[in-house]
Structure 1
Amino acid sequence: MRIWILNHYACQRHGTGLTSHAVLAHYLRAMGHEPVVFPAAFAQVHAPAARLSPRRLFADCIDDGTRFRFIRAREYHSTLGRFWNMRSYARNVVRATDDLPPPDVVIGSLAHPFAVEAAWRLARRRGAKFVYEIRDIWPQSLIDLGSLSPWHPICRYFARLERQAFRRADAVMSVLPGIAEYAATHGVPADRVLYLPNGIDPAIFPELAEPPADGPFVISCFGRFGSGNDMDTIVAAAETLHQRPEAVNIRIRLVGDGPSKTVLERRAAAAGLTNIEFLGLVGKHELVELSRESHAFVHAHRRMSVVERYGMSVNKVFGFMAAGRPVLFACRSSYDPIREARAGLTVEPEDPAALAQAMFELSRTPDAERRAMGARARQHVLQYHDLSKLARRLDAFLADLVSAPRLPATHRRAA
């Protein structure tokens, strides 16, 4: 089966960023399929080496045997520029496939709605089935984050694109646990919906040795500074702990990049915090070493209605769990893997005092109990979020889809 995956921000398997599609493609190829991944050549998460000269429409790269076709996209340094970056990717990817044999399935991943529309156009042109992959609910997520008013023209435009994508889709897949409920409101039957969560590549996440017994109690967080990731609350929790002499042994390590990082670094410096450090982006293998040095992990997420209702599937949380360490989860979600696996502590989002207290309590938890939490975390993620297993689920779903008749228009309705 030839499978095309359009995701503006997809990264190669051993890279830093959104690697899920690369890992799924790796295992699909091992099953005999021919996947091609189409990322943008210029996006925030890509290194400058991925950029193309103005005269080149695309560049191919073979990653672990999987073809990556990097599509030219307009460079940007502003919010408006990012909009045109997305539009140029969608326009160019449709023009950059004429030399490839026709696909059986085209997956349009909702990194943004324009990529989804481009995937539908390619599927229609090549006679393939179109799968709408929802990684985030647009535009409601933007509304929840305060990025857009529900009455803004762009918000209404994105809502129209979403309804259009549901009507056009032959099937829907999503990382969100509540996707069946959401898709049903758009008239998609349950047998055409696949819940395929994010996960980990077991080949890259080996079982780790115990962290150092001496030295500080290290709590790490890897991720982007911005969007739904609430690094502000983590820094505020560090400020609270800095004022508690009994918490002097706790050290918080934030690894990553993003628009709010510089502001938070300055805030920590102005407060004289000695219990927090900021590191830049690192590769997957460096993350494994930083994970080994960590005694626990923390993920804080902003309060969002879509997360509370439909759940979330955060790659880095599953990476934390795969490391075999307890996790502090400052998030209100209908799917809470930490509570479900008894793999750490869950606290309310956007509450620095509660998070600081949870950090302190975990640092005082006996080693044997923390090891048990970490073991349950790893067992849970290997059972439910192993991408080699999830690839087999995707394989079966797509095989059924390709052989099934197209959905009649009467089975769909606009929301």
Structure 2
Amino acid sequence: MYSVEQRDGAAFVWVGSAEYRRNDWRRAWNMLSFAWNLLRTASSMRREGPPDVIIGSSPHPFAALAAAYLARKLGSRFVLEVRDLWPQALVDMGGLRESHPGVKLLRFIERRLYARAERIVVLAAGAERYLTERGVDPERIVYVPNGVHLDNFRVSPDRRQSRARFGFDCFTIVYAGAHGPANALETIVKAAQMVSDLPVKFVLVGDGPAKDSLVELARSLAVRNVQFLDPVPKSEMADLLSAADAAVITLRNAQAFSYAVSPNKLFDYMAAGRPILCAVPGEVAQLVRTAGAGIPVEPENEAQLADAVRQLVALPQTEREQMGHRGRAYLEAHFDRRALAGRLAEALASIWT
């Protein structure tokens, strides 16, 4: 059901859940099984002493709901981290209507979580407006975006060795992250087909429920310049990105993604000093534009992405390097995880004041 691992003096409890490969009922079962197994750890937590604060995060709502229940059962304070907007993202992507029973259930859970939390941490500044429009007191909202431990991005000095290790033998554009419906990676596959005349290769690193369909799409379109790799450990991400010439990030063109996402992969790209092709709406594209770290394009528009690839390849190497340097500098100024951790610590301490 769960296992405990000691890392750097902290105990990590790894809670099991049902596996899934497709974005169907199996994913729902994965979510519910995790929440149920998490609740079953409550007795061991009580024996070892209940935590002062339990933070429930929302990569899916049932995890946050289980955390809220645990906090109530153990007498701990509850803090909600809004990582993904459920069910708003589902509605905005056109998958479900507000009248759908599943959406109504998720709206009920959403309201309960907002009411129960003593502080609500948002990863994207635009999510603050979403919460206040739903009656949340702005005093309870804390903005703490994703960021990077900059020390983790001290790459090996021999870039040629890293390129040989990963098999990068031409201008290589890397995507590193989840392969899910929301990531719109078919945009990359179709754009790759449009630039097949260039010595350019796209490397998609990671896994997820959409990966099999993406591999099939590349096969059906006879795309030869897309390579799929298994996930790499976080400890190897710096070397992977250093070996690349550029990085790409894509998302569906959904309203919720224009103001309520803070993608980890974007900050990894910036920390590695790679120029970024950004096919994400709203605030993420504006961040890349403000930092001068790459080329924003319209999401789910493979033609624009292909044009951006041609533009990036045509730039002198020094200009691409300057994009990467600007992105790294902007990250150091605004998204150093040590400073963000201090902001979160202050927010937690304020619960008792």
TM-score, normalised by the number of residues in structure 2: 0.90
Q: Which of 167-176 and 180-189 deviates more?
A: 180-189
Q: Secondary structure of the residue that 2:151 maps to in structure 1?
A: coil
8 Å contact from structure 2 (residues 251, 257) kept in 1: no
Q: Secondary structure of the residue that 1:98 maps to in structure 2?
A: helix
Q: 1:336-380: CA deviations, max 9, x gaps? A: 321110111001011111100100110111111111110011111
Q: Who is 1:241 aligned against?
A: 195
Q: Please, which of 50, 59, 63 is the counterpart of residue 102 of structure 1?
A: 50
8 Å contact from structure 1 (residues 60, 70) kept in 2: yes
Q: Who is 2:171 aligned against?
A: 217
Q: Who is 2:64 aligned against?
A: 116
Q: Who is 1:295 aligned against?
A: 245
Q: Does 1:334 align with 2:279?
A: no
Q: Distance in 1 between matches of 2:19 and 2:175?
A: 29
Identity of aligned residues (%): 37
Q: Who is 2:28 aligned against?
A: 83
RMSD, matched Cα: 2.1
Instruction: After TM superposition, list the pairs within 5 Å mapping 1:67-82 onto structure 2.
Output: 67-75=11-19, 79-82=24-27
Q: Does 1:60 align with 2:4?
A: yes
8 Å contact from structure 2 (residues 121, 144) kept in 1: yes
Q: Who is 1:348 aligned against?
A: 298
Q: 1:7-56: CA deviations, max 9, x gaps? A: xxxxxxxxxxxxxxxxxxxxxxxxxxxxxxxxxxxxxxxxxxxxxxxxxx
Q: Distance in 2 between matches of 1:363 and 1:210?
A: 23
**Distance apart, 1:334 and its partner CA:** 2.6
Q: Secondary structure of the residue that 2:324 maps to in structure 1?
A: helix
Q: Secondary structure of the residue that 1:203 maps to in structure 2?
A: helix
- Partner amino acid, structure 2, of 1:328: L
Q: Please, which of 337, 348, 351 is the counterpart of residue 398 of structure 1?
A: 348
8 Å contact from structure 1 (residues 339, 346) kept in 2: yes
- Partner amino acid, structure 1, of 2:269: F
Q: Distance in 2 between matches of 1:290 and 1:81?
A: 31
Q: Who is 1:258 aligned against?
A: 208
Q: Which runs of 5+ in 2 are unaligned?
A: none
Q: 1:302-339: CA deviations, max 9, x gaps? A: 1011122x242000011011111110101112343211
- Partner amino acid, structure 2, of 1:281: P
**Distance apart, 1:124 and its partner CA:** 2.0
Q: 1:51-95: CA deviations, max 9, x gaps? A: xxxxxx432111222211122434556632332332233233233
Q: Which runs of 5+ in 1 are unaligned?
A: 1-56, 405-415
Q: Aligned in 2, Cα 1:75/1:348: closer, same or farther, shift over 3 Å?
A: closer
Q: Who is 1:49 aligned against?
A: none
Instruction: After TM superposition, list the pairs within 5 Å mapping 1:4-403 onto structure 2.
Output: 57-75=1-19, 79-96=24-41, 97-206=45-154, 216-242=170-196, 245=197, 247=198, 249-308=199-258, 310-335=259-284, 336-401=286-351, 403=352
Q: Distance in 1 between matches of 2:260 and 2:115?
A: 23
Q: Who is 1:32 aligned against?
A: none
Q: Secondary structure of the residue that 2:173 maps to in structure 1?
A: strand
**Distance apart, 1:399 and its partner CA:** 0.7
8 Å contact from structure 2 (residues 119, 347) kept in 1: no
8 Å contact from structure 1 (residues 166, 186) kept in 2: no
Q: Which of 363-372 and 255-264 deviates more?
A: 255-264
TM-score, normalised by the number of residues in structure 1: 0.77
Task: Tell me the number of residue pairs that the alignment of Structure 1 and Structure 2 aligns.
Answer: 342
Q: 1:174-201: CA deviations, max 9, x gaps? A: 1122132122123322222111111112
- Partner amino acid, structure 2, of 1:135: R
**Distance apart, 1:147 and its partner CA:** 3.4
Q: Aligned in 2, Cα 1:58/1:75: closer, same or farther, shift over 3 Å?
A: same
Q: Distance in 1 between matches of 2:68 and 2:278?
A: 37
Q: Distance in 1 between matches of 2:95 and 2:173?
A: 30
Q: Distance in 1 between matches of 2:328 and 2:335?
A: 10
Q: Aligned in 2, Cα 1:85/1:228: closer, same or farther, shift over 3 Å?
A: closer
Q: Distance in 1 between matches of 2:244 and 2:291?
A: 20
- Partner amino acid, structure 2, of 1:358: A
Q: Which of 57-66 and 104-113 deviates more?
A: 57-66
Q: Aligned in 2, Cα 1:210/1:73: closer, same or farther, shift over 3 Å?
A: closer
- Partner amino acid, structure 2, of 1:64: D
Q: Distance in 2 between matches of 1:76 and 1:298?
A: 26
8 Å contact from structure 1 (residues 145, 227) kept in 2: no
Q: Secondary structure of the residue that 1:237 maps to in structure 2?
A: helix
Q: 1:83-135: CA deviations, max 9, x gaps? A: 23322332332331222212221111112222222222222223322111100
8 Å contact from structure 1 (residues 207, 324) kept in 2: no
Q: Distance in 1 between matches of 2:208 and 2:260?
A: 24
Q: Distance in 2 between matches of 1:88 and 1:215?
A: 43
Q: Secondary structure of the residue that 2:152 maps to in structure 1?
A: coil
**Distance apart, 1:381 and its partner CA:** 1.4
8 Å contact from structure 2 (residues 122, 128) kept in 1: no
Q: Which of 327-336 and 204-213 deviates more?
A: 204-213
Flag the structure with higher helix content.
Answer: 2
